[in-house]
């Protein structure tokens, strides 16, 4: 009887990017820069709410514009995002107020109950 040993070798190759884009991203409202953000190691960037609080009421066409950069011998080309429509609503809102009283008519000296609603327009 002959014994055999079967050895299987599985080689997996994985590519991981050790470098990532570096630099800054400008958040633009049309041609105006409203925020500058640093690109993080995972490629993300963020602008805090307070930096966008100066937007006026209405619809704004925002874009993110990456200026490009170089890291680890790799050059990353500039790019611009598609337009994102940001709607800014007023911090004050109109309301409608209603009132109903019963009984109506009433008798002098008797109780009248009044109620109503206040709702945003």
pLDDT in the model for residue 112: 92
Return phi, psi of residue 72, to 5°: 60, 30
pLDDT in the model for residue 105: 93
Return phi, psi of residue 118, to 5°: -125, 120
The verdict on residue 37 lying in a domain is yes
pLDDT in the model for residue 50: 60
Read off the pTM. Answer: 0.62
The DSSP bridge partners found for residue 71 are 74
The verdict on residue 38 lying in a domain is yes
The mean per-residue pLDDT over the stretch 111-116 comes to 92
Domain that holds residue 74: 24-88
Query: What's the Cα-to-Cα distance from 72 to each of 76, 97, 105, rounded to whole Å?
Result: 11, 64, 85
The verdict on residue 117 lying in a domain is no
The verdict on residue 17 lying in a domain is no
The string of pLDDT tens digits covering residues 25-63 is: 999 999 999 989 999 988 899 987 666 778 889 999 999
The verdict on residue 42 lying in a domain is yes
The verdict on residue 19 lying in a domain is no
The verdict on residue 78 lying in a domain is yes
Cα(25)–Cα(60) distance, integer angstroms: 18
Cα(84)–Cα(98) distance, integer angstroms: 39
């Amino acid at each position: 009887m002959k014994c055999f040993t079967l050895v299987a070798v599985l080689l997996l190759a994985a590519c991981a990017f050790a470098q990532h884009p570096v630099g800054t991203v400008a958040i633009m409202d049309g041609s105006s820069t409203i925020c500058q953000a640093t690109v993080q190691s995972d490629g993300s960037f963020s602008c805090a709410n307070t930096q966008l609080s100066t937007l006026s009421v209405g619809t704004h066409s925002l874009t993110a514009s990456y200026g490009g950069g170089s890291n680890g011998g790799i050059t990353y080309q500039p790019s611009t995002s598609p337009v994102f429509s940001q709607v800014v609503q007023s911090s004050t809102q109109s309301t409608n107020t209603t009132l109903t009283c019963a009984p109506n008519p009433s008798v002098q000296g008797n109780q009248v109950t009044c109620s109503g609603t206040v709702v945003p327009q």
